[in-house]
Structures are given as structure tokens and as C-alpha cells.
Amino acid sequence: MTSRSRHPGGESAGQADPGTASAELLRSEPGARPRALLLSAGLVSAGAVALAAGALMPVIRGGSAGFTAAPLLVVLALAPAAAVLYALVSGRSGLTAGLVLGLTALAPGRLLLDLQLLADGSLAARPELFLADRLLAMPQAGPGLWPLVVGHLLTLAAGAFAAGTARDEAELAGELDGRRRWRLLGPVLGVAGGVGLLLAPFGSGNAYLLAKNAFEGPTVAMAGYLLLAALLPLTVLVAVSSPSAGVGKGGFAGAGLAALAVGVPPVVAGLVVDRLSVAPGSVVVTIAGLALAGLAFTRFDVAEADEAVTGDLAGEARLPGLFWWRLATGGLALLAAGAAAAGALAPVLKANGPTPVPETPARWLLLGAAVVLAVPALFVFVPRLSAFARGVVAATWAGVVLAGAAVLSAALSVTEDKAVDPALFGVDLPVPLPDKVGYSAGAGVTWTFIALVLAALAALAAVITGVVERDDSDEETDETRVSGTVLTPVVAAAVLAIAAFGTPVFGAPGYTAPGLWSNFGAASWGLLGALAVVLGLYALVPRSRPVAAASALAGAALVLGLRAAELPLVGSEYEGSSAGVGFWLSLGGAVVTLVAAGMAVAGSRRAG
């Protein structure tokens, strides 16, 4: 390690002593950019004051909040600024920069949530700021909205000044040292929080405040929730990859505090506001935010046995070992497979009237995806086969995405919600509204959505387990990558995979298959997601060890095989169906992929 890669006693090594070396760095080291840090902290503080001021004023003219939320909102606004100022005063430059960047990353999504009050406040699900007591059409924004907007903009500006310090801290830290432990929980929490942001923030029995998830809500709020759901895990991943422990911990804490500002108010509203109830979405966001902030108090790297540890708030805390990660991977994969099977067997649709309920042919593909995921998940618990099975699970979860999107697409294409009965919300009408004849989502849709979430978590756990496996491996091998001869079949398989997912597996009279190049619909997102996973696995093969490459290729072959299985599983439900070009391309891609996996294993044996 060079003299620039680590400064003595520096925070980036995870051993900073407050007020000593890091404080000296803040005062005299040019790379610390003290003026930029001071300016970013000042902007965050000013933004916090603006957010607090906005919480004290009405955001809608003539309107009021559903409960006395101002004290809570003021605390949620000022707490992040207090953390930034404390880190700055104590000389933790990396922690300061990470906190600011974590807050900045989620500011755009929070800004869009507040702008929904400007676009149409009557549709905004923000009882902590505004709760209508009568029907309103396009209410005018109040004076409290503008300080909220200014607060988010100031937070965004602060990130521009903190980015340079974070980059310098990463350069001073050099390579990521030690074994990554507690920080590996971050991506799991980020994904869980992102999923929670997409769910309904609370339950509602209020006719003027309907509880809707991100996709059912108004456009501006939907964009805000989608942006938050994407940026929260992305921010955590960036923090995980930072060589500077200070920047990483600050990123976790900043993202966690920003998530709490979004998740806590709906939870409190569900507890104290009449006709509102607590929903799982906001609870998940709140727990993820608290856990991310708590990770800032743990060691990000495990010190060697003979290395002195100073200035660490967590002492010798250690993350559960490889056994527990494998248990989490296999358990989550089995739960995802079980949920997928339930989604396939439970009714996907239910009629709102005396109407026959059509079956969804894609449910059999989802059942097949459950089997393809469950079988390797069982072998994750077998010590000798665990590493290989874990690699297969890291691929076959994409089958749940492929089939789940098809099931949800079929449900969305024919469902039609019932008309809202105002009597259910305490509003009396002289004549009751008739029900609409049509379909609504059944239990199968709920189970399918749960399966998608669990499959994503299982994939993330599988990736983290692979990292822990490499960290715990003490074996020294001469050949750590597969032979270059594997590259040829891998490239051929990638080409076949692109064509296989882009062309129909079967054709039938009156049936139009979803595609990537044409007829792009909800089911096409499943095709795109599965293809992205398969191509990603192919891209990692040249950089992988032989056994890891073979397991990834075996999993990719199973996904391609599942794609080909659409012909017997789904096509058989349509009269006059016949094999399409995609069927043969999928089979060909699966065979070529298995050949590449065999070549990787053969190369491993020759190397031994």
C-alpha cells in the first residue's frame, strides 16, 4: 500500500480517533477540501431549517394536517443536519461527506412526493401535511410547500460540494481492506426498503384519502416513490463499495435518515388518525431506515487477529458466518418457491358479478419456475454442494421474474376494480351505486407479488453468500479463472439467449405473444429481467473461478430451459398452438450453455 493509500490513524482505515488525526486532516490536508465540507454542511443545515419551517405552515390553502405532526416532522428534518454538523465538528471528514451524499441521493424522490401537493394535493397521500375533510378539486398550494421544495433543493446542492471530499477519502483509503461483514447487510436492507416504498403507505377507510400503492397513485407521486425505491438500494451499494469506512458509514446513515423521513410519518398517521391504519409498506421502510442508520455504528471490515482496534463503536461485533448466509439463501429461495407455487395454484382472478372466471395459462409456467428454484435451493443446505447450488440459485430466481410478470400481466389485462361504495367510508348516499361487472385481482396476484420480492431477496442473499465464501476461502489456487476456451460457447449462448427471449416460443390463432422488439407489455418486463440476469451471468464467467462459472452457467441453462417450457406449459392451453422460433433458440441456448459449464468443470479438473 502506498503512502497515499492510507494516512496514519485516518478515518478511512476504520480507526479514526475523533479530534486527532482526522481532525488534523480536516484542517490541513488539501484533499479534505475543508471549505467544500463546510459549505455542504451549511447547505444541509439550511435545507433542514427550510424543511422544518415548511412543516410548521399549511401546505394547502385552507387545509390542515390529519394530526399534530409538526413536532415529529421538525425532528425528522433537523436530525440529519445535527448528525452532519457533529461529524464535521468531530473531524470525521469521510463520515460528513457520506452523510451528505446519503441525504442527497434520496432528495429528488422526496422532492417529487412534495410536488404532488402542487400538482394536485387532493390526490396526495400525505396526512402528516394535509388531510381533506371534503371533496376538493385541484386545491391551491399553501405557503408551507415552498420551504419544503427549497429544503430539498438545498440538500441536492450540498451533495455537489461533498462529492469531491468523498472521492478524495476513497483515494486515500486505497483498496477495500479486511473482510466485508456488517456492510453486506446494507444491500438487503436497501432492497427491502425499496420494496416497502412501492407498497401502500397506510390502510385507509377515509373516502377522501384512498390508500394506494406506488403504481396506483398519481403520476408525480408515483415517479417519486419509484425514484426512491431505485435510489435507496443504489445508494447503499455505492456506500458498500467505498474503500473509505467513513464514507460508507455516512452513506448508510444518510440514506437511513432520509428513509425514516419518508416511512415514519405514515406509520404514526396509521396509529393516531381516525379511519387510517398501519400498513406493512411504511413499517418495512422504517425498519430498513433504522437498521441502515444502525450499521454506521458497526465495523465495516474485520480486523486481523493481531491488529489493534481503536475508536470503533462496535468493538468486536461480527456478522453471522457463512453457515447463516447459506441458511438465509436457501430459506429465502424456498420461501420464494412456495409463494410462487401458491400464486400458481390460487385464483388469479375473481369475478365481481355472475361472470365466469377465466384461467391464466401462465400460472403453469410460474409453477414450473417454483420447481426450478426450489430444487437447487434444497442443495444449498448440503455442505459439499452448497457453493454450486448457491450459484444456481443466483440464476434461477430469474425464472420467477419471467413467469411472475406473465401472470401479473394476464391479471392486469382483464381486471376492473369495483366501483367505490361511499357507504364503506362513512358517506351516505340516497341511492347506492351499482357494482361494475368485471374482474378483480385474486389471491394468486398477491402471492405472485410476494414471490417476486422473496426471489429478489434470495438472489441478493446468494450474491452476498458468494462474497463471504471468497472471503472465508483460505485455498490458494494457481488458476483462479476459467480457461479462455470457454469464452466461445459463452458468446454463442449469449447471442442465442437474446434471440430466444426476443422471439415467441409458440404461436396460436388469435394469440399475440409479448416481445422485446414489438408488443411490449407488462409481461415483456419479465422477459427483459430474465434476459438481463442471464447476460449478466455470461459476462461474469470469464472473471470467475471454474466451479463458480459452471454453477452460474448451469443456472442460466435452467432459465433458458424454462423459457422453452412455455410451449408445453402455456402453449398447450391454446388451441392450434405450435412451436415458434423462440422454442428452438431457447433449447439451443440451453444446450450451448451446458456445454460451456462442462468445459469450465473440465478445466478445473485439469488445473487440479
Distance CA 98, CA 80 (A): 12
User: What is the reported pLDDT for 574?
Assistant: 85
| Integer CA distances (angstroms), 424 to 138, 205, 207, 275, 420, in order | 25, 7, 8, 11, 8
Specify the pLDDT at position 558.
94
CA distance 254 to 106: 9
In sequence order, what are the residues at sequence separation of 6 or more whose Cβ sits closer than 8 angstroms to the Cβ of residue 331? none
pLDDT at 439: 61
Q: How far apart are the C-alpha atoms of 277 and 265, rounded to whole Å?
A: 12
List 277's β-bridge partners, or say none: 203
pLDDT in the model for residue 431: 44
Mean local confidence (pLDDT), 545-558: 89
Q: What is the mean pLDDT of the segment spanning 104-117?
A: 93
Q: How confident is the model at residue 602 (pLDDT cuts 50, 70, 90)?
A: confident
Name the nearest CA neighbour of 329 among 394, 270, 409: 394
The predicted pLDDT at position 473 comes to 63
> Over 60: is that where the pLDDT of 433 sits?
no
3-state secondary structure of 484: helix
Q: Which helix (H) or strand (E) holds 439?
A: strand 439-441
Over pLDDT 90: what percentage of the chain?
Answer: 33
- Asked whether the predicted pLDDT for residue 326 surpasses 80, the reply is yes
Highest mean pLDDT (candidates 102-106, 174-178, 445-449, 481-485): 102-106
Q: Which of 521, 324, 334 is closest to 412 using CA atoms?
A: 521
Q: Which residues contact 526 (CB under 8 A, 6 or more apart)?
A: 401, 402, 403, 404, 405, 406, 409
Instruction: Return the minimum-mean-pLDDT range out of 23-27, 344-348, 595-599.
Output: 23-27
pTM of the full structure: 0.63
- What pLDDT does 603 receive? 59
- pLDDT (tens digit per residue) in 357-380: 667 888 899 999 999 999 999 998
What's the Cα-to-Cα distance from 236 to each of 52, 128, 162, rounded to whole Å?
A: 26, 27, 17
Identity at 475, one-letter amino acid code:
E
Rounded Cα gap, residues 78 and 81, in angstroms? 5
- pLDDT over threshold 50, residue 391: yes
Give the residue-averaged pLDDT of 573-600: 89
As a whole-number percent, the residues of the chain with pLDDT over 70 amount to: 79
Q: b or e along 126-143 (b: 16 or more beta carbons within 10 Å of the residue's beta carbon)?
A: bbbbbbbeeebeebebbe
User: Does 425 have pLDDT greater than 80?
Assistant: no
Does residue 226 have a pLDDT over 70?
A: yes
Could you give the CA distance from residue 210 to residue 213 in angstroms, rounded to a whole number?
10
Beta strands in 331-387 (DSSP E): 349-351
